[in-house]
Amino acid sequence: MASGLTVWADQLEVGESSVLDLNTDGEPVPRPDILVVGGGVLGVATALACQRAGLGTVSLIEARSLGSGATAGAAGLLVPEAHQGSDPTAFVELARASLELWRGLERELPRGVGYKDMDWIGLAPQPEGFLANPPKTVEWLSEEDVVELVPGLGRRTTGAMVRHQGRVNPLRAVSRMAAQLPHVATGVVAAGCQAKGGSIVTVFTSKGAIAPGAVIFATGLPPDLTGLGLSIPANLVKGHLAATEPVALTVAGSVAPLATQIEGGRLLVGGTLDTSDTSSGVNAAVVEGVKRDLYTAFPRLAGVRLSHQWCCWRPHHPDDQPVIDRVPGLDNAWFTSGHYRTGILMAPATARLLSEWALAGRKPERASPWGLDGRWGS
Ligand SMILES: Cc1cc2nc3c(=O)[nH]c(=O)nc-3n(C[C@H](O)[C@H](O)[C@H](O)COP(=O)(O)OP(=O)(O)OC[C@H]3O[C@@H](n4cnc5c(N)ncnc54)[C@H](O)[C@@H]3O)c2cc1C
């Protein structure tokens, strides 16, 4: 759950925020063909993919409001090329495919998803893996190039640029996708399930029992329901972000690791990994650090106020990679979890994998790297 005031919620139109609380007082569909549990970006994208694949009646239930978990607080950057050389090849390929699918959703949904094309600049020093095996489309930037593209930077440095990456306001994207789903119920907690003959027959929720044809769990962390018996190592990793007041400075897109220019001329800053911060809300000391880093990086912005500051918790597995798999021992249940730092980016491609798997009943080849097999002793 995000804590503090996110710039994303502030930037939604009235109609967009009301979609996040769909059918709160209503009952979920009692016998859907597909039940999706979890209304973060992964769950909403998955429900939409299932519906578009013609999987019958697709019902989504969410314990709170849509996008209220990690999704609410993400930076919304869609930058597969930044992972080149540092993450496994399969990860980068899934990320590239997902960026293409985000672009497709922008074209194909009636109001798009609020996708913005954006150039990405990684300032030196780049990770060793990136230097050794850079993206094909990388443009290396001299110090003079960086001065031109990132005015006001307080140090001289070289960089790497990749054009045509993307970003979304995660809540807008969730809202626009959810607006296409006829059966969403928020405020519904899935608490347990019952299986017979290797299939889930009933999911018990705070609003009664549901008898689904198939279930897909997209609950951030692995689903923790009685009767499911899943036990996979996972934890939450806290992170802080902030947005500035509009600034009199235009940077070219996203300048890693410093700032991304967003709507209204604001800069999005932070994205901390607060592994030892056990406090439950926004930690003022961490936000002070984010502000200090901004002023050091851009001395002419010293004194600029932060208009928004928030934190949220990334669902994480020990190998930093997500899981996309069938629930062991069940033929009509799948789950995805632990999307850590890139769940917004990966959502449409993950959703497509899950919907193809549910439709065909056969595991798509592309899902192999994300299974439980061989991970954590399984
Ligand atoms: C500071 C920060 C910056 C980030 N920046 C980026 C970025 O730039 N790009 C990027 O791609 N990713 C980014 N991320 C990561 C991204 O936020 C997550 O990977 C992604 O939001 C995970 O989505 P999810 O749908 O799996 O989980 P969540 O958004 O947490 O959604 C899971 C939902 O399931 C619901 N749920 C759980 N259990 C149940 C139940 N039993 N019954 C009903 N509902 C249930 C929860 O209420 C929740 O709403 C960032 C994260 C942080 C913290």
How do the domains of the chain map onto residue ranges? 3-73+172-233+320-370, 235-316
Q: How far apart are CA 170 and CA 214, in angstroms?
A: 27
3 has which bridge partners? 311
pLDDT at 266: 97
Q: How far apart are CA 123 and CA 127, in angstroms?
A: 10
Please give all residues whose beta carbon lies within 6 A of any atom in ligand 1, as ranges: 37-43, 61-64, 68-71, 73-77, 189-190, 218-220, 239, 241, 271, 312, 314-315, 339-345
Q: Are the C-beta atoms of residues 156 and 190 closer than 8 Å to each other?
A: no
- pLDDT tens digit string along 76-98? 999 999 999 999 999 999 999 99
pLDDT at 378: 67
User: In whole angstroms, how large is the CA radius of gyration of the chain?
Assistant: 21
122 has which bridge partners? 160, 256
Q: How far, rounded to the nearest angstrom, does the alpha carbon of residue 25 sit from its chain's CA centroid? A: 27
pLDDT at 81: 98
The CA 26 to ligand 1 mean position distance, Å, reads 24
pLDDT at 4: 81
Cα separations (Å) of 23 from 19, 59, 80, 214? 9, 12, 35, 22
The CA 110 to ligand 1 mean position distance, Å, reads 25
Q: How far, rounded to the nearest angstrom, does the alpha carbon of residue 88 sit from its chain's CA centroid? A: 19
The CA 343 to ligand 1 mean position distance, Å, reads 7
- pLDDT tens digit string along 241-252? 999 999 999 998
pLDDT at 24: 80
Residues of the chain with pLDDT under 50: none
End-to-end CA distance of the chain: 30
pLDDT at 377: 74
Tokens of 332: 């009509």
Residue 40 phi/psi, 5° resolution?
-85, -170
The CA 98 to ligand 1 mean position distance, Å, reads 16
In b/e form, how buried is each residue of 209-234, taking b as 16+ CB within 10 angstroms? ebebbbbbbbbbbbbebeebebebeb
Question: In the CATH scheme, what is the code of domain 235-316?
Answer: 3.30.9.10
CA nearest to 184, candidates 6, 323, 39: 39
Residue 211 phi/psi, 5° resolution?
-115, 90
pLDDT at 184: 96
pLDDT at 375: 94
CATH 3.30.70.20 fits domain 3-73+172-233+320-370: no
Q: How far apart are CA 346 and CA 78, in angstroms?
A: 8
